[in-house]
Structure 1
Amino acid sequence: MTEDLTSAPIDPGTRIGHVHLKVADLDRALAFYCGVLGFALMQRYGGQAAFVSAGGYHHHIALNTWESLGGRRPPPGTTGLYHVAILYPTRAALADALARLDAAGIPLTGASDHGVSQALYLDDPDGNGLELCWDRPEAEWPRDADGNLQMTTRRLDLAALRELIPTARAADAAGATASGR
Structure 2
Amino acid sequence: MCRPGGVCIALTKQNFTLKYDTNIPRQVGLAGSSAIVSATLKCLMKFYNITDNDLPKPIRANFILSVETDELFITAGLQDRVVQVYEGLVYMDFSKKLMDEQGYGNYASMDMSNLPPFWLAYLSDPSDSGRIHSNIQQRWLSGESVVVEAMRSFAELTDQARAAIKERDWSRLAQLMDQNFELRRWR
User: TM-score per shorter chain, which class?
Assistant: under 0.3
- Higher strand proportion (structure 1 or 2): 1
TM-score by length of 2: 0.27
Q: Normalized per residue, which structure has more helix?
A: 2
Q: Determine which structure has more spread, i.e. the larger CA radius of gyration.
A: 1
